[in-house]
Amino acid sequence: MKYWVLAAAISIVPSLAHAQIADVSVEIVDHFADTSVRIVDHFEDERWEVVGACSSIPTLAIEIVDHFEDLRVKIVDHFPDQQVCITNVDRLDEEMRHMLHLTE
């Protein structure tokens, strides 16, 4: 029995190590957003690391805009202010996925 529990623990631990927890779960919308976001190259308000898709209920609805934004975001790989997962990534077009660094 002791060996079975050890084997189960060893098989579960690697999968938990790859799980990523996001600070914010967002849904990207065209209207009725909580926040309008512009993705920028410099002089951002926040730095986001988009950790990928998530199946949780969104905590924030955002609209990605070209002008008149509430928040300017730079997407980074290291030292983010927030880790963000996208709840509706399957409905985004390829250009938007690329902008959010969700494509290779």
d(CA 96, CA 104): 13
Give the pLDDT confidence score for residue 20 in this predicted structure: 61
**Residue 16: its H or E element:** helix 2-18
With residues binned 3-state (H G I as helix, E B as strand, rest as coil), the percentages for the chain, rounded to 5, are 25, 30, 45
Give the pLDDT confidence score for residue 101 in this predicted structure: 94
Question: Domain limits of the chain?
Answer: 21-99
Contact present, 36 and 62 (Cβ < 8 Å) = yes
Task: Please give the structure tokens belonging to residue 38.
Answer: 């512009």
pLDDT in tens, the chain (104 residues): 444 433 333 333 333 333 468 999 999 999 999 999 999 999 999 999 999 999 889 999 999 999 999 999 999 999 999 999 999 999 999 999 999 999 87
Contact present, 98 and 65 (Cβ < 8 Å) = no
d(CA 90, CA 53): 8
φ, ψ of residue 15 in degrees (nearest 5): -70, -35
Give the pLDDT confidence score for residue 102 in this predicted structure: 93
Give the pLDDT confidence score for residue 27 in this predicted structure: 97
